[in-house]
A and B are shown apart, each in its own frame.
Chain A
Amino acid sequence: MSDAAAPPPDSGVPPVAQTGPDDKKRFNSQGLIVSIITTTIAFLVGGLVVLATGHDPFGTYRAIFNGTGVTWLIPGYGDRAASATNFQQTLLETTPLILCGLAVAFAFRCGMFNIGGQGQYFAGSYAALIFGSYWGGIPGPAHIVLCIALAIVAGAAWGGIAGFLKATTGAHEVISTIMLNWIAIWIGTYFFGLQGPFVSSQYSPISNTIVGNVHLPVFWGDPVLQGLHIGFFIAIGALVVFWAILNRTTLGFEVRAVGFNPEAARYSGINVKRNYFLAMAISGAFAGLAGGIDILGWQFQIATPDILVSSVGFLGIAVALLGRNSAIGVFFAALLFGALTVGTSSRQLDPSVFDPQLAGNLTLIIQGLVVLFVGADLLVLSIWKSRKKLSFRRKASET
């Protein structure tokens, strides 16, 4: 391959891979320790913020925790029906987070930082919404498969643009994906806004609603009031697909080789540019799937004011980093952030304990702290080691 021989031009911003977490640290005990310490520090600092602004951190965290419905997992504890409903919401929120986490993680494994999960998520949800609100004559299952396939394609295309630009011109994916996020936001504002082609009425900026037979079946909870739909299993399936692509295919091997060291990969005959493009397209496919599932599973329509508020794609970054870019890690990190999102939502959190609007921003702060500290594993590991040293000294002084 002749185009594999020429290095991509210097984009001016360094590739993430060279300084990112290496393969060995991915999800062994050390990686787990970094993730746990990171989460602890993030929640501690978040609690300090709550305390400093004159609220009760313990009461706040307890209220958030009770709202997540995680107590459902403890048999015989609390109000079973209420915690079941809340836990359905948590898993409902976990579903797109798993997929958006995978979208970031896959690009990471190829040495790229995909901040464009949000835009790729929108691409998928727009595609699912537009095709789900027409063609009512197609039988349900076929229509669902078609909409999900189109959502995947739309997400892959949106991510693929950034991959293509990086491969051909060296444009750094961080800048290009952020720009693509904003372009996706404004396209959605046009599509579903007042003058747009897919708006439901001329008085409110809300899109058409998808037809009834394209709703994903609900298997747990009330099918009308946001029960848990089968999209959850699609996300679990995507975790397996993610693992299988990376660890059981040639493509996955090449992607990891490029992520580990693009120069070495190039010298061993791997087409680095092709892998940049494919990795971003696959990343986008995961995020697009998330958008499609959310539309078909519980949103059913898009209100343009909600487009600017959505942050599931950005949460995917924290999910991927906290999960050390591994399938199993992404699952648990997505569960954590899914629970946090539900626990801080205005439906779950009692405003007399803590204002849900504040809590939503608290989630953003915790998310930022997680990303900050996971990125600095040198610091986190040194904290861990100094703790070991302290306990060792204590033992020495006791003898």
Chain B
Amino acid sequence: MTAAPITPERTKHWSEWVAAKHIAIVGIVLGMTGGWIALPPVAVRTVTIPLFLSILAIAAGIWAVARDVKRPGWGAIAAGIFGITLALLALQSSDPHLRSVFTWGTLIAATLRYATPLTYGALGGLVSERSGVVNIALEGMMLMGCFFGIWGSATTGSWVGGLLIAMAVGGLTAFIYGIFAIHFRADQIVGGTAVNFLAVGITGYLFIQIYGSNGTPDLTNAESIPDVHLSFLGNGFFGQVLGQLNLMIWLVFALLFVVYFLVFKTSIGLRLRAVGEHPRAADTVGIDVYLTRYIAVTISGVLAAMGGAYLSIGFVHSFNENMTEGRGFIALAALIFGKWRPFGAFGAACLFGFSTALAYAVPSAYTDSASSILRSGALFQTLPYILTLVAVAGVIGRSVAPAADGKPYVKQ
């Protein structure tokens, strides 16, 4: 009666688990394939094959969930539902319409465009939250960046000036928020909301004061952040994706590596994270908690404002009141979804960006549809918000924030 009987049982259990997991992953792939083949370039014009694949995927998912492999199992079920929904939606549209909308290359390029402001915001949030200050005010700082980007650009006559002014104002806004959050130990959620309101009020006030009801001036070439043309990529898939991206998109790729390296591979980053995890301990070894937090919060404002400036002078080329439309909060959700890590946050931002790209692309496939829901297209706009809701609800609890996040520190 020694340990001998246990071993075979444990092995069996382990192998069973792996098998269920593998089946679930196959289910996910099947569900995704079901959706994919309904779209161009394959574009099967029948529901049978996607339906068959989706049923297989859902069955695999249920099988896995029944064996307690919950996450991949639910993933497979979700993929199955996603696949058949996509297939049914695709069949509602005529083949030429579909082919005009679903070019994967342009769709991915659009994804990157929509994901970029979110990534800037998420990187800002990362720096701030790693130092222990929750930054609900990302939305407001981004909006400040939007307005001052275009104002600075039109005033100085160069996009560089606009970007720098946006960054300065974003940093200043964040610094003021920092004074309240760090020194006055204001509730960070309430304080952040206040900054968001102030940003809407200030940008709206200045917009009316400076531009009146005529709207922002048309930007000249010098005043817009330029696109980077890579003509050697040609017109193929890579050309469509990477051939004509804005400079700020390439910059955010670089910033991802910079932030990753600084926060996770240098002593500065170690200090930052120490302050965010255990400020008392950091204080004891001589790190200035307040200074670190001020710097981190200010940097987060600068980054969020860069995202805002991209939005106004790199992407939309105009400003309108409250134009960030909740992007700061979606960036925050991307940060949480990405587990407070740069590349995780970027992945999440791409997911949300893809949903936005779809929301804008899909309605044009249904201009002659019989259904008013599909024709109006307004409901597709809820897609990024619903996805954010699902992501925040689905991932949390498995995603752990810095320990001192949101807790004001009292010096002794």
Interface set of A (CB-CB < 8 Å, partner B): 9-14, 16, 19-20, 49, 53, 113, 115, 165, 168-172, 174-176, 178-183, 186-187, 189-190, 193-197, 308, 314, 317-318, 321, 355, 357-358, 360-372, 374-376, 378-379
Contact = CB atoms under 8 A, between A and B. Distances in A.
B400 A10 contact: yes
Contact of B189 (A113, A171, A183, A197): A113
A365 B190 CA distance: 15
10 contacts: A10-B400, A12-B336, A53-B209, A175-B332, A186-B381, A196-B372, A357-B208, A361-B202, A368-B196, A368-B199
Given A14-B407, A196-B378, 9 more contacts: A9-B396, A10-B397, A12-B405, A14-B188, A175-B332, A364-B197, A371-B190, A371-B194, A375-B186
Q: Is the interface of A mostly helix, strand, loop or mixed?
A: helix
Nearest to B185: A378
Contacts of A182: 325-326, 382, 385
Q: Is the interface of B mostly helix, strand, loop or mixed?
A: helix
Given A361-B205, A362-B205, A375-B180, A14 B379 contact: no
A335 to B, nearest CB: 20
B217 to A, nearest CB: 18
B396 A170 contact: yes
Interface in B355-412: 372-373, 375-376, 378-379, 381-382, 385-386, 388-389, 392-394, 396-401, 405-408
Contacts of B194: 368-372, 375
B341 to A, nearest CB: 13
Nearest to B330: A179
Contacts of B329: 174-175, 178-179
A14 B134 contact: yes
A142 to B, nearest CB: 31
Contact of B405 (A9, A13, A49): A13
B180 A19 contact: no
A47 B187 CA distance: 26
Interface string B189-220: 11101111111111011101100010000000
Contacts of A181: 326
Nearest to B326: A182
A53 B392 CA distance: 42
B197 A314 contact: yes
Contacts of B198: 364-365, 368-369, 372
B172 to A, nearest CB: 15
A178 B187 contact: no
Given A190-B378, A365-B201, A367-B201, A378 B396 contact: no
Given A19-B187, A183-B382, A365-B202, A195 B193 contact: no
Contact of A12 (B186, B213, B372, B396): B396
B143 to A, nearest CB: 12
A165 B406 contact: no
A172 to B, nearest CB: 7
Contacts of A174: 136, 189, 193, 329
Most chain B CB within 10 A, of A176, A194, A318, A375, is at A375
Contact of B201 (A197, A362, A374, A379): A362
B184 interface: yes
